[in-house]
Structure 1
Amino acid sequence: MSSLAAHTPRQFASELRRWRNARRVSQLELALRAGTTQRHVSYIEQGRSRPGRTMVVRLAESLELSLRERNALLNAAGYAPLFRESPIDDDVLRPVRDALDRILEGHMPYPAVVAGPIGDLVAANAAVELLAVGAAPALLEPPVNVLRLAIHPDGMASRVENLSEWGRHIIESVRARTLRSPDTRLDALLAELESYLPPLSPGPDHVGFAVPLRLRCEQGELQLMTTLTSFATAVDVTLAEVHLEAFLPADDATAQILHERERARRAGGRVGSLPPELVVGRRA
């Protein structure tokens, strides 16, 4: 008997009920979203009814599960996964990688990275060398984790003027992700990252953790804002789990410094310390 056929309606029922409770959705609301009846959802959750593959997909979509989680729910119901998971260097993803490379290059002279679900660096532009200045070599060995690099004492932390606030911006972002899509790897990383941060005592003017990064460099203090872009319509698990993080100057002084650094980099042919295979423009 195959592993898929071995699954029972009760196994799927348990998973569906777990996700519905995690999303804080009632049976009626889930039924309305999925285009079925509350009675049918109730029967499914009791293990009295085995849903078809299409219904499982509709329920997963209605619960806003990730592609990986949708595949797992299909498997729990006894069906084969619907969404493929291709290696990032697979030929099927080459057009996407080429497009990402163009975006990274087009963002110069401002730093930008493409990272995986737990922060592992997939690709970067040459300006990201700014973030790696003075970092311990161990933090720059593949796979480079950009979250760890950002707030590790031997990474960027010693140059971040507002580490308490900005570091907690990162922490809260990771925490929100773990609540939305539980992942033991993220749980472990979150515990590690929290151990690096100094205590914070918010004053009366505290407005939250969404603050610009204040980063020291040779030319002065930079103020950088960040934007996150994900692939909302991806049909490949790997692509759905990566995101593009781009840094933007928050003031004219920062923009000027970054332009000057890029001119100096081009004139001096600086190589930098990140793995060359990950940096656009430095690949063999």
Structure 2
Amino acid sequence: MRADSPGHCAKYGSYTMMNLEDNKVVDIQLIQSNEVGASPRMEREGFLRSLQFLESAGLRVGAIVTDRHPSIQKYLREQRPDIKHYFDTWHVSKGLAKKIDALGKERSCGEVLAWRRSIINHLYWCASSSKTGEEAVEKWKSVTNHVQNVHHHDSDLFPVCAHPPLEMRAWLTPSTKACERFCDLMINQRLLKDVAKLSPHHQTSSVEGFHSLILKFAPKNVAFSFVGMLNRLHLAALHYNENSNREYACSQSGEPSIRVKWPKYKKGEHSLHYRKTAPTYKYVESLLRLFF
């Protein structure tokens, strides 16, 4: 779900359903907070409306990838056990990174910060390389031994680390405060349950990209009517679906064009992004032909 304004007092909430296999928006539901009593309830209502719309159109939903919203978890667990529910890895890694940062600020625990990036990479690898949730959990739990330079584990599903021999690293010393607190964080029962449900194939980064595009059509610092907001959401979806699978742009030498970004959430680290060809606006011509 996307709120129409920053903070916790949103008036509108838009819920987007996207087919992650072909990167197309298939449904958008707009909910006003006074319909459901309060803004925190909009996400569950939007999910239920969108799921009902898809199934009424004859589509059988076999699996869905979302964030860890508690009410949606409960609904799918109790009311719809026939739908496989997966968690987006980025949302889990974002919360885990914050906890590692908080632990690193404690006294005698600063050395755990050196493992932050490796731990996040390991989380993505556990999700993408595992066939079952149990296998992903065993791979994840092995990190408590790995950071102590122990690479054989008491597990039938993952008895030994998959990496080649490593050079000297900033291994954590067993029985120290940093090591004990770090291991407790890694094998937290709630985190283990989340790791077991990580999506192995598709993530919701495309949905986040679509939410970023909506800012071009409906900025959060401008108030719109219900119909005005709905129309702008539909225009954003038309634009996104037309340009969702654009080809990558190339330089004059024929090599893929790459740009460097310095996102704020990476705290000084950079990321590389392939440039894409310019977007098209054929949907505007279709709308004009329809109207006139």
- Scaled to the shorter chain, the TM-score interval is under 0.3
**What's the TM-score once normalised by structure 2's chain length?**
0.22
**What's the TM-score once normalised by structure 1's chain length?**
0.23
